[in-house]
Each structure stands twice: as structure tokens, then as C-alpha cells.
Structure 1
Amino acid sequence: MIKNLLLSLIFLTVLSIAVQAQEALFGAQQIISPEVHDDASVTFRLLAPKAQSVQITGDFLPTVKMETPRGTFDGPGKADLTKDDKGVWTYKSEVLKPELYNYSFIIDGFTTTDPNNPFLIRDVASATNIFIVGGGHADLFKVNDVPHGSVTRRWYDSPGLGMDRRITIYTPPGYENSKDSYPVLYLLHGAGGDEEAWINLGRTSQILDNLIAEGKAKPMIVVMPNGNVIQDGAPGEGSKGFYKPQFMVAKTMDGTYEANFKDIISFVESNYRVKADKSNRAIAGLSMGGYHSLHISNNYPNMFDYVGLFSAAIMPREDATGKIYDNFDGKLKAEMDNGYKLYWIAIGKTDFLYDANKEFRAKLDAMNMPYEYVESEGGHTWRNWRVYLTEFAPKLFNQ
């Protein structure tokens, strides 16, 4: 009798938990957020009946000036959601231009992600939701019905750094079943990034798949290393385990990375079918990665025919003591005299590095060093860097 009673209680408890779980599951499914409408406006929803206020912040909203320890930046604005009698908060945007956008909710002053949107990106230590409004260049950020390349995470030996290190590599559609050799783009991240940055935030594989399918870019291998030389892999992916990512870590811009970059090239050219010559190598990077690309290319003038500086961090640094930075002007002239096919510079009009890039271009002009220059709207953002990749990649390996 007691045994049967215990079994009945256990059954009822399990049943109650299952019912509650199903209610939570199906209750959550009743809310669609974000909902992209046919007219390119977007509705956001959040079930929070006890909340006193809910706001949304994202890069689809008008920008505001933000004061940070690193200076004044343009940041995303905020908008209020309205609450209905069921406790659902709603906000409908204006008609948005084609773009990949990110956003977060602010509930009673606490910033958090949208529980109804499982699609997130991590930028340094911040996780935000994303959505795409299609059309125009934003279609290059989507997974379309085209042949797809492969993305692998490999580990390479870096004798110069004394460790095995994680690296992300994109190979173009058909690589595995082909005997062809391919050109290589080395694509470098900015401060706070790692080997996950370009593939996740930059949509590299989607962009390359789509450009190659449209015949706008040559099939190429894209190598995305980790520029933080004290790490063997991204936070959570390396031997240090789970820890909070930092914007700047030690030794990121002191010359160590540039001095040991050949370890990466040696690994790629020993393990992949590549065209291992100057005319089939390109290097580009954003912000800190642009700084690295600048110095790697002028220290190894016979290595790359294509150089891309995306919002490059061209500025003097107190920790830039490595020999890699010696005789900068002389190395630039040697790079120019040695010859290259493309030196490409791009930056947004409101980027905090705009003046530094303007001064650098003046230096190049004074020495008659050829380059192509793109000036876009906006600031120091992934929105610009994704577009720069869509414009830079078609220029590679065609000359």
C-alpha cells in the first residue's frame, strides 16, 4: 500500500514537472521576436509581466555619444517598449535598411539578451542578439542556396611562441574534391577578438561563399589566426578554460605577433594546397589587425601582393618596442619599391581612428606610395568591416 502510494506521488510529481516544462516551452513559442516584416520594419517582443520598464538598444537605432575610458564613441541609442494587459512588451522599428543588426533588452536597468531569439554573437565579453534585414549587401551575410565552403578549427605549432595555437581556416567550395591549389587571404581581428571573431561577427564564410558563387571573388582560402600571443586559443577554447575575455591582453601590439607570423604561413603552406608565392598571398585586418597587417607587410615585403587596412590602428604606442617597428618609414619605402598589386585603406568618417588614418595617407602621398582609399559612413564597427570585406575580397588575385 505504502509502496503504491509512493509510486503514485512520484508519478504525479514527474507529471507536474513535465506539464510545467511543456507550458514553458509552448508559452515561449507563442512570442516571436524579432519579427521582420515585409516592409523591412521589425517588431520585438518580451514577456515580462512584473517588469516596470523595458527598453531596447541596438545598432538599428539612432546613435548617441558614449563616454568610455578609451574616449568618446558613437554608440547605439535606446527606445521604450510598451506593455499590454498580458505582460508582453512590444516595440516596432521604423523601416530598416538592409543590414545585419544586433540588439539587447534593458529590463528595469539590467541589460540582457532576448530569450526568444537564440541567435547571438560575442564581441569581446558582450553577447548580443542578431537579425538580418535582407536585400542589397546584406544578402551576402545570409546563408544562400549556393555551393558552400568548409570552416575548420586547426591547431598549429608556433616554435617562435613556444606553443600549439588554435586557428580558423575557410576553404572554398569544392576544395576537398579538387586537386587545385588556391591563393590565401590572411584575415586578422581587432583588439578583444580572437580566431572566432571574423568567422562569427564578420560572416566570413557566408560572404566568401556568396561572392564566389556570384563570380565576384576568386575561390580562395581564408586564414583567421588569433592575434593574442599569450593565448593558445580563444577564451573557452584554449588551455586556460573559461574566463572573461578582455579588450586588450598583454603583448598584443608589441611586435611579438608580427615577428612570429611566419609560423602561421609555414603551417598553412605545409598543410593546404596553396599557391605559395607573393602574387597569391593577401593580408588584411581591422583595427589592431590593420596595425598588424601594416607592420607584417612592410617587414616582409616579398610576402604579400595585397594589403588591406580596415579602420587600422595607426598610432604610436608606448609598448611598441619590438625591432619589428624600427625604421618604419624606410620599410614603407622598401615595400613600395619592391612592388605590390594593391594597398587598400578603408575607414568610416566618424571612426575615432580617422585622423590617424588621414595622417598616414598624407605620409603615403608625400612619398608617392600608391594606394586605394574607401571612406564610408559610420565609425569603428563590424557593420563597416563586413562591408569592407565584401569590397576587398573581389579585388584579390585578379591582377
Structure 2
Amino acid sequence: MQKLASAFIFLFLIGLTKVFGQEVPKELENIISPQVNPDQTVTFRFFAPKADSVQISSDFLPPIKVMSRFGLVDGPGKIALTKDKNGLWTYTSKALASELYSYSFLVDGIKTNDPNSPYALRNGASLTNIFIIGNGIADLYKTTDVAHGTLVHSWYPSSGLKTNRRISIYTPAGYEQSTDKYPVLYLLHGAGGDEESWAAHGRAIQILDNLIAQGKAKPMIVVMPNGNVAQDAGYGYGRDGFYKPEFLLPRSMNGEYEANFMDIVTYVEKNFRVKANKANRAIAGLSMGGFHTMHISRYFPNTFDYVGLFSAALMEREDATGKVYSQIDQTLKTQKDNGLKLYWIAIGKDDFLYKANVDFRKKLDDLGMKYEYVETEEGHIWKNWRIYLSQFAPRLFR
């Protein structure tokens, strides 16, 4: 058997030698991609000897306009790699600022992931590779040598939605060893996401671990539910098994989720050691989750002292027909009159939801409702939402 194996390896190497007309090039024996260099440039490599073109598409490149259901929005830019005599395509970026970046390859126009990197995240039906550049804001996104919290996945009963639903819950370092009670942040995802999104794309666990260890944020429980009413759990985790993801599932923005949100609060306050009062509850969300956050917080106007809208999808919707969406001005006024410690709105200048947020801020101004506003560069991207969480969490429960 050993002789047969040795003969096979010998013939395999002979075959490669014929393909390349020489010995196997050393650079093909262990392709490293992406390679983060000491000067914070990044080298990408892709072996495709028969390809006519290989490009990289990434959010570190200047954005390009792409058509979506919302009209023209910013998408990741593209740039070509260079092919050597062995069929190895290479590109080295300029020095990159500290951030978590995503990328994929286009081989003769066909999108594919990096075969040399296992680090990839799914958003809806899209899978992209990721890498981190440190020495800045992205150090918060790394797993560092600090005390770590615990991420659990459990199922809560929703009497209103008539099903058990999967939920992700972070408890801070020391929770299991103490008898203390903790405040709670309810953190909501956007369209295309699920109960895994904030822990994966958002790096919420690393952000909270690091901020708490640095004394910049109070120890807190973070509850990350699934905002898609049509699902009992995210793709591959629920009763429907494996099926093609959709960007926006039916019933996700028709009021059912918001109206039944207190099922989540009840479950958390029954099963975890929490401070169960308004002063120790916060709610925040991105995009669709910001839409949910705005409506939940005013529909239950004496429940949350801290509200965060991250690039919130605050435009009017034809499917927003539920009772939750009635008497918006009146319930916002009630929320204001009940008192809030922080109403925090953040959005990028290039976000397609920018005008909707301008209009909503005018509504708050007309109602005399105080809020804090943060405006950043760029658009509707995870880069901004991680930054917003990093800024919002230290403001809570002070």
C-alpha cells in the first residue's frame, strides 16, 4: 500500500511538471491569501491558469453604483489582478485603514470566494470573505486577551406569533460566577440578516468584551433576536432546514414583530438575571432593525430609556398596515413625555436612507423630542454599524 501511495505521488508530481514545463513552483505549494503585510497593505492571490481575467471586489476599493430594489446604491469596487507565468494572479492593495473588510473574487466574471481563506460570512444569499486590519478601531473587533463573555443560542416561546423562536444572547464575563443583575441591550439586525448577524458581521461579542474590559462600557446582557416573522430561526437553524435565502422575507415589516416584541422581553427577564426596569433596558437596530426599534420603543413607550437608530429604514411602506403603525406622532409624544435618557440617531452621508432620516429628525424637532445625531462618511454598510455600536454601547446605563 505504501509503495502504491509513493508511486501515485510521483506520477502526480510528474504530471504537474508537464503542465508547467518545470518543477512545481514554490509559490504554488502554499498560497497565502489574503496576506496582511507589515505596512498594512494586503496581498491577494488566486490560482487560475486558464482564466482570462481575475478581479477582486471589496469594500476597501472606491465604491461603484449598483442597482437594487431601492434604486442606485453603493456597492463594493473592483480591480484586476495580475497573472504570472504559472497562472497565479496577484494584487496588492495600498495601505489600508484599521477596519474589518469583506471581499470576493470575479473569475471571468463569475463571483467566487477565496479558496485559500476559510474566513467568510453570509448575509442573505451572499457569502464573502473577510479580513481585519488592526492598529485602530478594528482592534475592538478582534478576540483579545481579556475576560470573555458567553454567547448562547436558545429558544423563546412567542404566544403572539404562535411558535418557538431562536435567539442569540450574550452574557458578560463573570455572569455565571456572580449573583448580580445586569442591564439589557436588545440589538436588532437588518433585512437579509437573522439572529446570527450581529455576532458575525457586527462583531458584537468582541466589541462588548473589549469595551467592558477597558472600562468603557458597563457589563450588560445583549439580546439579538430574529426579526423575520416568517422564520422560527435563521437559515439552516430552523424547522425549514436548508433553503435559498431571501433578502426581505414576508411579514418582516408589517407590524407583527413589533407588536409581539414583549414576548422576548418577558423571556429574557424570566430566564436571566436582569434589572427589569426602563432605566436598565436599551434597544437599537440597523436598517430594518432601526425601523423595528423606532416602532417598538414608541409602541411600548415606557419600556426603554435608551434608543439607538443605526441607518434606520424610516421611510413609509405599503406593507406597514399593522396597528403598530397607527398614531405615530401621538405615541412618540407619549414616549417623550415619559422621559428618555438617550435617543441616538446615526447615519452615513451617502446612505440611500439619508433623506428618510432627515425627515424623521424634523418630525422629532416638531414634537420637541430631544435626540443626539451622528453623521458619518459612506453609506449603508456594516463598517458604519460596527462603529455605531462601538459608540452607542459606552453611552448606556450610566
Q: TM-score range by the shorter chain?
A: over 0.9
The equivalent residue for 1:98 is: 98
Shift of the alpha carbon at 1:234? 0.4
The equivalent residue for 2:115 is: 115
Once the two structures are superposed, the pairs formed by residues 161-310 of structure 1 within 5 Å of their partners are 161-310=161-310
Paired residue secondary structure (2:337)? helix
The equivalent residue for 1:127 is: 127
Shift of the alpha carbon at 1:165? 0.6
Shift of the alpha carbon at 1:48? 1.1
Q: 1:160 & 1:11 partners in 2: Cα distance? A: 67
* Native 8 Å contact 1:34 1:131 kept in 2: yes
- Unaligned residue ranges in structure 1 (runs of 5+): 1-7
Paired residue secondary structure (1:366)? helix
Q: 1:371 & 1:216 partners in 2: Cα distance? A: 22
The equivalent residue for 2:44 is: 44
* Native 8 Å contact 1:314 1:353 kept in 2: yes
Shift of the alpha carbon at 1:87? 1.4
RMSD: 1.9
Cα offsets for 1:139-174 (capped at 9, x unmatched): 001111111101111011111111111000011011
- Unaligned residue ranges in structure 2 (runs of 5+): 17-23
* Native 8 Å contact 1:348 1:376 kept in 2: yes
Amino acid at match of 2:354: Y
Cα distance change on mapping 1:276 and 1:112 into 2, 3 Å: same
Q: 2:47 & 2:229 partners in 1: Cα distance? A: 44
Shift of the alpha carbon at 1:16? 3.4
TM-score by length of 2: 0.94
The equivalent residue for 2:4 is: 12
Q: 1:19 & 1:256 partners in 2: Cα distance? A: 64
The equivalent residue for 2:385 is: 385
Amino acid at match of 1:324: V
Shift of the alpha carbon at 1:68? 2.3
Shift of the alpha carbon at 1:27? 8.5
Q: % of aligned pairs identical?
A: 62
Count of matched residue pairs: 388
Q: 2:11 & 2:270 partners in 1: Cα distance? A: 57
Cα distance change on mapping 1:19 and 1:294 into 2, 3 Å: farther
Q: 1:68 & 1:214 partners in 2: Cα distance? A: 40
Cα offsets for 1:339-360 (capped at 9, x unmatched): 0100000000000000010011
* Native 8 Å contact 1:105 1:113 kept in 2: yes
Matching of residue 370 in structure 1 with residue 370 in structure 2: yes
Q: 1:332 & 1:12 partners in 2: Cα distance? A: 77
Amino acid at match of 1:16: F
After TM superposition, the runs of 4+ consecutive aligned structure 1 residues lying more than 4 A away are 17-21, 26-29
Paired residue secondary structure (1:386)? helix
* Native 8 Å contact 1:98 1:133 kept in 2: yes
Shift of the alpha carbon at 1:19? 9.3
Shift of the alpha carbon at 1:11? 7.4
The equivalent residue for 2:324 is: 324
Paired residue secondary structure (2:314)? coil
Q: 2:144 & 2:264 partners in 1: Cα distance? A: 31
The equivalent residue for 2:19 is: none
Amino acid at match of 2:306: Y
* Native 8 Å contact 1:28 1:116 kept in 2: no
Cα offsets for 1:84-143 (capped at 9, x unmatched): 112111000011111000000111111000001110011111000000010211100111
Cα distance change on mapping 1:240 and 1:88 into 2, 3 Å: same
